[in-house]
Amino acid sequence: MSIFQLTDCRVRRLDLPAPGFQTARGDLDVRPIGLVQLWLHIDGQPAVGLGEIAPLEAWATESIDEAIEAVESVPTNAVPFGIDTITEAFPSIAGTPAARFAFETACLDALGQHRGVSIAELLHRGDGAPLHAIPVNGSLDLGQPPDAAADLVGAGFECVKVKVGADVEEALERVDSVRAAIPETQLRVDPNAVWTPIEAARFLDRVDPEGLDYVEQPVSADDLDALERLARTAPVCVAADESAHPAPRGRRLIDRAEVPVVVLKPAALGGLLVTRELAELALERGVRVTFTSALGSALERSAVAHLAAATSAHVGPHGLATGGIFEEDITEEPDLVGGGSMLLREGAGLGLNPRSDIIDTVSPDDSSMSRGDR
C-alpha cells in the first residue's frame, strides 16, 4: 500500500458553458465545477494529480461552494495517509461526496502516474485486463426533437437515452416518435424523477416495451417503496438513479435487489472506490449497473470511464457520452467516442492533458515539480 502525504492543494472554480441542455427538472446553461490540483509525496516521491468537484443538487450532494470550501479546508503537510483512509485523514470532506470524489480522483491520478499505469489498471481486480473501450449510450435531451435520434444512430450509438417531461401523455408520444425515427435501436427513458407513483404506473403500463431497455427513476428519489413496487409490478424494466444516492441509500437499495438496474454516479457517491464496492455488491445480488457522469467536464467523464473499464463485468452501455453539451471543456482534446464506444485516454493516471490556462504547473513547495514530470 502506497503512503501519501499532501504538500499543496488548490481549487479553481470554472463555469463551463452548456447552452440548451434540457431535462424535466430544468435547463443547464452553465455547469459550475471545481478543478482540484494536489501536490503530494507518494512513498517519498513527488507527484501531482487532478480531480473535479461536480456536485448535483438532485443527487443529495453538497453545493459547489460547500464542496470547494471542504477541499480548501484540507490541511497540507498532514499525517501520512493511504488511498483507503482519505476520509479519516481529512474530516472536512467526510460528509461532502463531491469533494471526496475530487480529492480521491486526484490521489488516484497521481498514484497512476507515479506507478506508470492508468486509473483503470489501479482499480481493476480479478483476471485479465481492463477494457480499452467501453460501450456508451447516446442522449436526447428535451430540447432536441425526436428525429434528432437518427443522428445519434448515424454516429454509431446502439442505445439512446430519451429525456421526457412531466406530462405522461406527451412523454408517451415522444417515445413513440423517437421509436419511429430509430425503430431498431434500444431505448432508455428518463423522466428525471418528476412523476407521481400513479403517473409512473400509467406510463409504465402503456409504453411499448419493444426495444425498451429501462425507464430510469420514474418517481421521487425519496420514495423507495414506490420505486420498488413499480419495479416488481411494471411490465417493463425500471432503473434507480437518484434513489441510488447517497452511498448508504444506494447500498441498501442494491442489497434488497428489488430494482433490477442501478445507475451509479461516482461524483455523487463520494468516489470511484465506494462506487466500485457498490458495483461489486450489485453483481453479487444480480443487479445490473450503468455508470454515468454527473454532467461534469472531460476530467470527471474520464475518471468514471476508467472505473467502467475496470469493472467490465457490468457491460453497460454507460452514460458517459455527454461532452457534446459543452461549448468548451477543460481540455482541447475531445472525448474519443465512436461506434457506440468511448476509448480510454492514453497515458498514466487519467491520461488527461488539461488546458494550460487553467492549471498551475509549478507548486511553490516544490518548484521543480510539474504535472507529468516523473
Residue ranges and CATH numbers for the domains of the chain are 4-116 (3.30.390.10), 123-343 (3.20.20.120)
Segments in the chain forming alpha helices (H): 64-72, 86-89, 97-115, 119-123, 149-154, 168-181, 197-206, 224-233, 247-256, 266-269, 272-285, 298-310
Q: How much is the pTM?
A: 0.94
What pLDDT, on the 0 to 100 scale, is given for residue 61? 81
Does the pLDDT value for residue 368 go beyond 70? Answer: no
Percent of the chain at pLDDT > 90 equals 82
What pLDDT, on the 0 to 100 scale, is given for residue 313? 66
Q: What does the alpha-carbon distance between residue 324 and residue 203 come to, in Å, rounded to a whole number?
A: 29
Q: At what angle do helices 64-72 and 97-115 cross, to 10 degrees?
A: 50
Place 38 in a pLDDT band, splitting at 50, 70 and 90.
Answer: very high
What pLDDT, on the 0 to 100 scale, is given for residue 367? 37
Q: What average pLDDT score do residues 240-252 get?
A: 95
What pLDDT, on the 0 to 100 scale, is given for residue 75? 92
Q: What does the alpha-carbon distance between residue 218 and residue 368 come to, in Å, rounded to a whole number?
A: 53
Place 25 in a pLDDT band, splitting at 50, 70 and 90.
Answer: low
Does the pLDDT value for residue 22 go beyond 80? Answer: no
What pLDDT, on the 0 to 100 scale, is given for residue 18? 84
What pLDDT, on the 0 to 100 scale, is given for residue 371? 46
* Amino acid at the residue 142: L
Does the pLDDT value for residue 364 go beyond 80? Answer: no
Name the more confident of 35 and 325.
Answer: 35
Q: What does the alpha-carbon distance between residue 120 and residue 129 come to, in Å, rounded to a whole number?
A: 9
Q: What average pLDDT score do residues 228-242 get?
A: 97
